[in-house]
Structure 1
């Protein structure tokens, strides 16, 4: 199956202290409007958090958007991005979701609190 890449632009308030060497991290899930059911990839994806916004790129395939039994196609991405440094989270990762169609058409921009 062909592979695509979801680019998530993640920004944080200027008032948030982000030390050098920090990363932006997230797990990407596919699911329905209520919940994420299939983890895309094995671990957290991460990118350097040198400046806001940072871009997180997560590869996925159409197979990732199917339920394990193959009978349902998921229509939402779910994630809870967070900043980290020295194995410590710098913020609370609030759950975010977007329809897959909207993410493909317009990209995904998330503002951390």
Structure 2
């Protein structure tokens, strides 16, 4: 677990483990910039087996509005962003991301 650049970044499956390089922002303070990429965020649900290997996952997309109010994103933009970035950055190891946010190998 670490912290990234305040924006969504791609995911890959490495040695049967899912690596999510950045989940964006989930909580902010004051007048933090919340436009475009910094407003997109998500909750990542992941199932692993007893050895820590990736089984399945789900992206739950949200956006941050106004002064950091978390709101469900009906446009599901985080799903398409994660899919695009994962395919660009990890063309051979990106997970499959369905339109409903389901993640699989």
How high is the TM-score relative to the length of structure 2? 0.30
Q: Which one has the largest radius of gyration? A: 1
Q: Which has the higher helix share?
A: 2
Identify the structure with bigger relative contact order (alpha carbons < 8 Å, sequence gap 6+): 1
How high is the TM-score relative to the length of structure 1? 0.29
